[in-house]
């Protein structure tokens, strides 16, 4: 069974600090996708990134970067020079090829508060 663990329930940082959100997953499938979503205080869910299990290249998008390590089953998300607008709940998610990628398991989320 697939499982996603986000052990950090809440994190507070001061603006301009870097912060890393952890995501650890479990799956028996060798082919799967990992995702990060952002839920700002307004409540909508915004897709940030997806990564397939065969692509371990790290990705950078502006102040955001993602570190995928199959050896430790982790897909961590780093925000560099955090800003108040980064305050949100961030969810990591997993879907397996075995389920046609339809069955998606989310972590419990990490609430990030960026203090001005």
Partner 1 sequence: EAQVTQNPRYLITVTGKKLTVTCSQNMNHEYMSWYRQDPGLGLRQIYYSMNVEVTDKGDVPEGYKVSRKEKRNFPLILESPSPNQTSLYFCASSLQGAYGYTFGSGTRLTVV
Residue number with CB closer to partner 1 (13 or 48): 48
Supply φ then ψ for residue 64, to 5 degrees. Answer: -100, 140
**Interface with partner 1, residue 43, by CB under 8 A:** yes
Among 44, 54, 62, 116, binds partner 1 (CB under 8 A): 44
**Interface with partner 1, residue 64, by CB under 8 A:** no
Among 91, 94, 112, 114, binds partner 1 (CB under 8 A): 91
**Interface with partner 1, residue 24, by CB under 8 A:** no
3-state DSSP of the chain:
CCEEECCCCEEEEECCCCEEECCEEECCCCCEEEEEEEECCCCCCEEEEEEECCCCCCEEECCEEEEEEHHHCEEEEEECCCCHHHCEEEEEEEEEHHHCCCCEEECCCEEEEEEC
Residue number with CB closer to partner 1 (45 or 84): 45
**Interface with partner 1, residue 50, by CB under 8 A:** yes
- Residues forming contacts to partner 1 in the complex (CB under 8 A) are 6, 33, 35, 37, 43-47, 50, 52, 91, 93, 95, 97, 99-109
């Amino acid at each position: 069974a697939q499982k996603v663990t986000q052990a950090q329930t809440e994190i507070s940082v001061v603006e301009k600090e870097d912060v890393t959100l952890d995501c650890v997953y479990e799956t028996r499938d060798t082919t799967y996708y990992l995702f990060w979503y952002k839920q700002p205080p307004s409540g909508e869910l915004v897709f940030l990134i997806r990564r397939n299990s065969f692509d371990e290249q790290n990705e950078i998008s502006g102040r955001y970067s993602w570190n995928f390590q199959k050896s430790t089953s982790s897909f961590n998300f780093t925000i560099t020079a955090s800003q108040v607008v980064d305050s949100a709940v961030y969810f990591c998610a997993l879907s397996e090829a075995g389920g046609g990628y339809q069955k998606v398991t989310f972590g419990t989320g990490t609430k990030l508060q960026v203090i001005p």
